[in-house]
Structure 1
């Protein structure tokens, strides 16, 4: 009914005028009051027709001589209309000042935190990080990268106070238990290594060499070894299997127990080493400096770096394969820790908000014209018919009320004029 209200109002006005005019011509009614009503309906018809023309002329061509060129206004003036819309959107609705004002009261950092804390969103973010990391790692084993890294390392390491920085970092990492994930990865790699057939063969060879060396120490010891071999008491394969099983058990226990004696002892030694590095102990610093100089001066440094990069690439691909690997668990844990810290740190959120808003403001100033270009491009893709249809679909129904108002206002004016005429005639 809404989109036909203009036509209905025009039909009522014209129908009322036609009925009253006919009845008056036939002498069925002759009171002056009917003349007033007839004048109202007549004026309403004129007003309704005028507004029908005005509304229709916006969207369509009306084949009436002389006035035809003033119809189909939207299509004929689409260039001006387009630029007007672009100007309105760019400089009024989405001006840099308006956007900055809207952003001012929004805690963007908090919204990002809430967004990333939702498991589904966090999973998508982690997947994106993994894809980016894998993409970046594709060229890690490129020889040119190895050469570039060699050049940079040589230059930077020769100038860097590596000992002090390493000491501070090690001390902080161990005290914060940040190294536990590294422990777990190393011990996991060690457990996998001892299960390799090559390790078993190597161990058997070493056991044979050890038995031979032991037998060569004296006649008695040689006789003992010979008897062992003769009566199959020296089963190198069984001994190797038992040693490897025990080694695997040892590594597994150490991997899952942060308080394992070996890990505790090594942590204590590393803390002492880190403290001595950080405080400038000459003997300890010399170890790092000598290692750095030997590393820089190594003849095959480029090949070493390339092999390291290739190994790192393969390891990274394995660690990024799923979210249950030690690396991904470390990343996810750190991400949630950062989110929790930010949620409780108002000042940090304010700094982030300030940075985000400043960045957005700078980008708006630099690329603000692109908003207008996007609007202009979208409008230019439409032909005249599509443009008219889209505008008419959005505002056509509301414009019908202009036609209704034209009929009503015209009718009221007609009634008022008729009443004035009657008053002067009386």
Structure 2
């Protein structure tokens, strides 16, 4: 008998726990192949526990920011583009969309979760589809759009659902239904059933969504306000649970009722940034909300001050705030000529220093439609 250990082991000889730890450091292509070998490994690699562990491993590789840019005029939506940049250094990376857009087409980034993109895509003006795309495994799924033709009065939400021992994604569409009385209606697509399974009216306080929203544990949050014939009500937060298909309303603190709001996620807590600004400068207050029984308690985290016209926080990365300034200057002597400056920078909350991530100037009216955090993931669409 030789004392030299073998150079190879067959997979069945390795303990299950050791194999699970090894797969935490594999690439997406390997994990997709392993899932096809047995029901055991398919359930294991799709389980919430494994996804949570591997997400922590890939999260340590850093966060990218995906910015969706486009022109003001709706007729130029086919010319939209995406910029990917490092949230730490601002370095730009090449990124090609996984689809083509026709001359009259358009696209929107519905959301990014668990390393997977959800786009809404139209190659014409009216007919559209949803594309769920994983850049790690180079896989995509194309879904029917349940409300084609009313793009301006609808919003889609994209998130992952964590059922016991498995993981699936859901897409929620909330849109304005015309009839005797206009009302908001929602419908839900679940990758487990592969169909749109629910369609029901929303509560009266649910209004048309802003494209910016945040997700925590299967619950989506966004800021909105109610309209009536006499006056507008104060802004508030609406939440929707993709697991229970229920809505909830969260009132903002009085001190946070300012002109601009954006929702953020910080250490698995929901936060709101309230911005006051004038010609001399701006002040942004970051608030955190916690559920205590059926009540919600707000606590103020810190203030962010500056001398720009306005910096709106767009995200929080590792406790630091990503700020966005979009400024449009119109040339008086030339009709229709405008300049745009878009400035994205990182505010380090520990040292209260700032670092420029992106500074671009355009000789046109350019809008930053959405900005998303991106952490690599492995989920096979």
Q: Please confirm whether the aligned pair reaches a TM-score higher than 0.5, indicating the same fold.
A: no
Shorter-normalised TM range: under 0.3
Structure of higher RCO (CA pairs closer than 8 Å, 6+ residues apart)? 1
What is the TM-score when the length of structure 1 is the normalising length?
Answer: 0.20
The structure with the greater share of residues assigned to strand is: 2
Write 1 or 2 for the structure with the bigger share of helix: 1
**Larger Cα-atom Rg:** 1
